[in-house]
Structure 1
Amino acid sequence: MPRHTEEASILTTTTTFRSLGILPETAEALEAVGITTPFPIQEMTLPVALAGSDVIGQAKTGTGKTLGFGLPLLERVTVAADVEAGRATPEQLTDAPQALVVVPTRELCQQVTNDLLTAGKVRAVRVHAIYGGRAYEPQVEALKKGVDVVVGTPGRLLDLAGQKKLNLKHVRALVLDEADEMLDLGFLPDVEKIMAMLPARRQTMLFSATMPGAVINLARRYMSQPTHISATAPDDEGATVASTTQHIFRAHSLDKVELVARVLQAEGRGLAMIFCRTKRTAADVAEQLERRGFASGAVHGDLGQGAREQALRAFRNGKVDVLVCTDVAARGIDVEGVTHVINYQTPEDEKTYLHRIGRTGRAGATGTAITLVDWDDIPRWQLINKALDLPFNDPEETYSTSPHLYELLRIPAGTKGILPRAERTRAGLDAEEVEDLGETGGRGPRGGGRKGGGGGRPGAAPAEERQPRTRTPRQRRRTRGGQAEAPAEGTPATAGSATAVSEPAALTDEPGAAPRTPRRRRRTRAGAPSAASAAPAEPLPAEAAPVAAPVTPAAEPAADPAEEPKAPRRRTRKTAATAEVPAPAAAPEEAPKAPRRRTRKAAATTEVVAEAQAADAEVTEAAPRRRTRKTAATAEVPAPAAAAEEAPKAPRRRTRKTAASAEVPAPAGAPEGEEAPKAPRRRTRKAVAVADEG
């Protein structure tokens, strides 16, 4: 595809924006903020871009590229003011976006949006920023109401376009700002998808400080005969801006914070930006400077969007004079009054270095750029120095007490690393309010880090605006715990309900006392039943007593209504049947209970010795509780009258094979001195047969 290239140099002319052919309303808006004379990139770009040609603009950072593509972009948009002025017809008006600007970072998106709003204020051009980290709903509502120019990041633009919320069919002009950064961040595939959704007939402009090969290939595929404009000044031949003074120091990592704190107290120091390579380092440096008395803020990727915008607003408004950030703020951030830029850590490459120090010395102003190089970063810095052709190949070793540091940066003698209290005049980051953006992404508390993170769930109602609960958890606990109140009329009282008690005397120890606490209720459940509830008034016969279900007389009034419903709570399901069976009036024998502890083999011997067992019922009843199931049969056989004391202990030392011989009782007439009952314990299997035969 053919490509027209135009290499231009600055012309020393006193041109104005009005003489370049922009609309009077746009020139009036620029003059209102003191912008009357264009910069070289603006002066060379405007005539070509206003004619409708595709443009590739390349210039150093801080030389005014935003207005270089912004003014032609606004001229391509048709708004209601153009219809009133007779430059357009009502049929040309539309609520769909007519121009699109794609930028790599959120901070640059805000910067470009603000510049376009300033230039299009008189014509009332509707410019809206679309980027991630904010809620979708406000952005969708703004698109429905109508937008003339959309400025956005690739991810959110592609997302809304895929949901059919962003209509790109009416776009007449496209701008790719900082295309090399989008290449580094991996956004070029998304940019290509967005460009495929645009009309084929459009104006495309591409602006960047550097032009890698991939960006040039992108321009050749999607641009039609672009004009390549590279603006340089005769006295500014290097890659960096001549108005920025550069200092490179070799510093130790443990001394950097102290060194930076003293540099921040240099004479003539205004706003300062400190750049770090990692997010953790940025947060740590900002916190340490705050403890030393400096009004500092942080901007890095771990912060929520609300906290990032809060720090930038505080920095622009002067509430914070030190902004510690990562490279997310190295592109496009244009804040007036930035006099010092400090590279706390060596940048990755020469492009990052150029964009970092480009935050100062902008629009013809002077600035100071200081780079602190660790011993480990010397090889990286030497590559950057060679690529930019700088004279700092071997940085001078510098500490916070080095005399040349004070002399070069004009630091007053005797300055320490803590800001005096008399000079702490800034309001600080807390003075800037945090805007609720309805943030997305789920990075924990909004703000994600230091103070003022915008915490809380977006959209949550304040505590004073929430409706009070009709029934608190405390009320529910008191009701379940047995509140001593009578049930309402018409409410059936149940035995299992704690509120069914109608007599306060049953729940309190004395009249007027407070209801029982859960502690007293637990003691009642664990205690033994009273005598009135343990046995019925009249015992029932054994043959008529039910076994499977508890007996609860309904017609007979209870002596104490609070005790009878509580009895089942102390019984398990398995023992409920046996617990309700009352004992007969005279029960000398425990015949019904014996079969539960005996095996089938011992049933025959139990009937034989039943009469002897009745004489000592209490001993016999307690013995099976300490015996196992296998020895239960032998335990029920009593010993002869002469050896009554030793018989219960014998089965504990017998084995299964000798159990049969142990069941044979001794003769009735055996003398007391014989050891006949103990003999089977010491017999073998062969001796058992001989003893049985004899």
Structure 2
Amino acid sequence: MTTFADLGIDPDIVDALAAKGIVDAFPIQEQTIPLGLPGQDIIGQAKTGTGKTFGFGIPVVQRLGLNPEHGVKALIVVPTRELAVQVYEDIDLLTSNRSTSVVAIYGGKAYEGQIDQLKAGAQIVVGTPGRLIDLAGQRLLDLSNATEVVLDEADKMLDLGFLADIEKIFQKVPAVRHTQLFSATMPGPIVALARRFMTNPIHIRANDPDEGLTQANIKHLVYRAHSLDKDEIIARILQAEGRGKTVIFTRTKRAAQRLVDELGDRGFNVGGVHGDMGQDQRERSMAAFKAGKRDVLVATDVAARGIDVDDVTHVINHTIPDEDKTYLHRAGRTGRAGKTGIAVTFVDWEDLHKWALINRALEFGQPEPVETYSSSPHLFEELNIPAGTKGRLVSAPKTQSVKTERTPRPERAAVAAAEGTDEGGTRRRRRRRGGANPVGSTFAEGAEASTSADSASESSADRSAEGAGTHDGAGKEHHDGKPAPARRRRRRRGGSGGAGAAPVVGA
């Protein structure tokens, strides 16, 4: 096994890597670093998770020297915000023993902090195309001295429609430069881009000839599952023996958030990363997952290339991706750094044609996914799930206490009626009862009628009068349209007269 010290790398960089337990080089690093150090243009192609970042990062850092001058000397362009954060952290590690400063430039964050770092003289910029062009257009980012240029995950930039932005960026960097292009796949437009903007590049493929199109250290399981049973299946997989950190991919942002809520309700420690979340929320969720505070991460494909965590044991495709390249990048979140992993894919009945294309492209040899339910014996056997496992870690919340508070109310009201008290009445009912009658007086035994027939007819006439029950806002009237003082005096007269008028009516 070749170590970084054997590749002619500066001792301070070797020490920085060794401090993190990184000593041996992967094949892509072993092949690209000796060519990149003297300034050879490189097209590096290797499967995701094989160490491409250090493959281009070490030559960039070392070629800038121990004490580079202030100002942008190196530019690393990445397609997504999550990948920008990941690459920034790796480059920051490489420069930890040097005066070189690194800044991450990407959208969703405030401009001020990024601009301050640029003004402070940062020498290496890691950024996404949109924010880079934005700051360059405002003359806040000067790329005229960026002699080291790297395109990482170039095929993803093609998928996201960044090809025109990449051409704009190349127009802002020096014509004489050292250019490196790294990607897991190499479609035709990317090859054409390399020919336009690179000088005699060497194309390096770091693939084992006997490995096939997918990583040999990843176990691929494909199930035909019903959409209503997927959550239960996933919840049982998350209780498999030996299960470590797990990434679950969904097709849409709404499905991702729904699954986060569902798994959280079932008792799992889960976080999410998708486009409806703010950038700060996404970064906090990703940081919690990397730190082990959460062991389940639900994400859309926006994060498929920004999750660089070595101890991910399972990847679950809640919905099947649209193409084989997306499948490779999803599955590549596990089995990283030479470790083993498991990739589980659910195929809906209506998505069988998509699986047929992926199966043919990646040579899986499994044209018909196995029909699987949460109770299927082969699911428990293949994923090492303990027998009798259910899809919930915590019991459902009990609502009995809420019901027991509300049910006695009618009983208390009945008792209050029998005893002649006002206990059990609702606040709304008490507010309605006004005038001289105390609340609950109608339930008092032997209580006299508080209103006479005359007052009752008067009240009825008031309610049937034109405009009664409305308020036109033209004065200080109440809802019956009469001035407030007169209405109160009428009630008092009616209340007192009603009690005295009763004998006259009886006579």
Contact 2:266 / 2:394 at 8 angstroms: preserved in 1?
no
Contact 1:262 / 1:415 at 8 angstroms: preserved in 2?
yes
Say yes or no: does 1:20 pair with 2:7. yes
Say yes or no: does 1:219 pair with 2:176. no
Counting only pairs closer than 5 Å after superposition, residues 75-154 of structure 1 correspond to structure 2 as 75-80=62-67, 93-154=68-129
Q: Please give the per-residue CA displacement for 1:446-474, whole angstroms capped at 9, x wherever unaligned.
A: xxxxxxxxxxxxxxxxxxxxxxxxxxxxx
Q: Please give the per-residue CA displacement for 1:406-463, whole angstroms capped at 9, x wherever unaligned.
A: 0000100000010158xxxxxxxxxxxxxxxxxxxxxxxxxxxxxxxxxxxxxxxxxx
Q: Please give the per-residue CA displacement for 1:628-667, whole angstroms capped at 9, x wherever unaligned.
A: xxxxxxxxxxxxxxxxxxxxxxxxxxxxxxxxxxxxxxxx
The match for 1:279 is 253
The match for 1:71 is 58
Contact 2:272 / 2:297 at 8 angstroms: preserved in 1?
yes
Structure 1 residue 396 displacement after superposition: 0.5
Paired amino acid for 2:237: V
Paired amino acid for 2:202: T
Identity %: 57
Measured in 1, the distance between the counterparts of 2:116 and 2:394 equals 49
The match for 2:217 is 243
SS in 1 for 2:382: helix
SS in 2 for 1:339: strand
Which of the numbers 321, 326, 336 marks the counterpart of 1:352? 326
Which of the numbers 203, 206, 226 marks the counterpart of 2:181? 206
The match for 1:334 is 308
TM-score, with length taken from structure 2: 0.77
The match for 1:170 is 145
Q: Please give the per-residue CA displacement for 1:249-295, whole angstroms capped at 9, x wherever unaligned.
A: 00000100001000100000011000001111111111100000001
Paired amino acid for 2:169: I
Unaligned runs of at least 5 residues, structure 2: 396-474, 484-507
Say yes or no: does 1:300 pair with 2:274. yes
Which of the numbers 162, 168, 173 marks the counterpart of 1:193? 168
The two structures, once aligned, show a CA RMSD in angstroms of 1.5
Counting only pairs closer than 5 Å after superposition, residues 46-65 of structure 1 correspond to structure 2 as 46-65=33-52
Measured in 2, the distance between the counterparts of 1:289 and 1:335 equals 21
Paired amino acid for 1:206: L
Which of the numbers 338, 347, 351 marks the counterpart of 1:364? 338
Structure 1 residue 318 displacement after superposition: 1.3
Structure 1 residue 234 displacement after superposition: 4.4
Contact 2:41 / 2:198 at 8 angstroms: preserved in 1?
yes
TM-score, with length taken from structure 1: 0.57
Structure 1 residue 522 displacement after superposition: 4.9
Contact 1:174 / 1:205 at 8 angstroms: preserved in 2?
yes
Structure 1 residue 157 displacement after superposition: 0.2
User: Rg: which structure is higher?
Assistant: 1
Structure 1 residue 78 displacement after superposition: 3.3
Moved over 3 A (4+): none
Paired amino acid for 1:27: V
Say yes or no: does 1:322 pair with 2:296. yes
Contact 2:310 / 2:337 at 8 angstroms: preserved in 1?
no
The match for 2:354 is 380
Measured in 2, the distance between the counterparts of 1:42 and 1:374 equals 39
Counting only pairs closer than 5 Å after superposition, residues 445-464 of structure 1 correspond to structure 2 as none
Unaligned runs of at least 5 residues, structure 1: 1-13, 81-92, 422-520, 528-694
The match for 1:410 is 384
Contact 1:59 / 1:230 at 8 angstroms: preserved in 2?
yes
Paired amino acid for 2:207: T
The match for 1:44 is 31
SS in 2 for 1:340: strand
Paired amino acid for 1:252: H
Q: Number of residues paired by the alignment? A: 401
Q: Which has the higher contact order (CA 8 A, sep 6+)?
A: 2
Structure 1 residue 75 displacement after superposition: 1.2
Measured in 2, the distance between the counterparts of 1:394 and 1:257 equals 22
Q: Please give the per-residue CA displacement for 1:372-415, whole angstroms capped at 9, x wherever unaligned.
A: 00000000011001001112211010000000100000100000
Contact 1:56 / 1:228 at 8 angstroms: preserved in 2?
yes
Measured in 2, the distance between the counterparts of 1:330 and 1:242 equals 20
The match for 1:263 is 237
Structure 1 residue 239 displacement after superposition: 1.3
Q: Please give the per-residue CA displacement for 1:102-135, whole angstroms capped at 9, x wherever unaligned.
A: 0000000000000011111111321110000001
Counting only pairs closer than 5 Å after superposition, residues 478-489 of structure 1 correspond to structure 2 as none
Measured in 1, the distance between the counterparts of 2:150 and 2:222 equals 36
Structure 1 residue 94 displacement after superposition: 2.4
Measured in 2, the distance between the counterparts of 1:27 and 1:37 equals 10
Measured in 2, the distance between the counterparts of 1:256 and 1:167 equals 50
Contact 2:310 / 2:335 at 8 angstroms: preserved in 1?
no
Say yes or no: does 1:179 pair with 2:154. yes
Paired amino acid for 2:32: T
Counting only pairs closer than 5 Å after superposition, residues 545-694 of structure 1 correspond to structure 2 as none
The match for 1:434 is none
Paired amino acid for 1:233: D
Measured in 1, the distance between the counterparts of 2:64 and 2:163 equals 26
Structure 1 residue 240 displacement after superposition: 1.0
SS in 1 for 2:48: coil
Say yes or no: does 1:312 pair with 2:299. no
Contact 1:29 / 1:118 at 8 angstroms: preserved in 2?
yes
Contact 1:76 / 1:172 at 8 angstroms: preserved in 2?
no
SS in 2 for 1:31: helix
Structure 1 residue 155 displacement after superposition: 0.2
Structure 1 residue 16 displacement after superposition: 1.4
SS in 1 for 2:393: coil
Paired amino acid for 1:354: L
Measured in 2, the distance between the counterparts of 1:287 and 1:249 equals 24
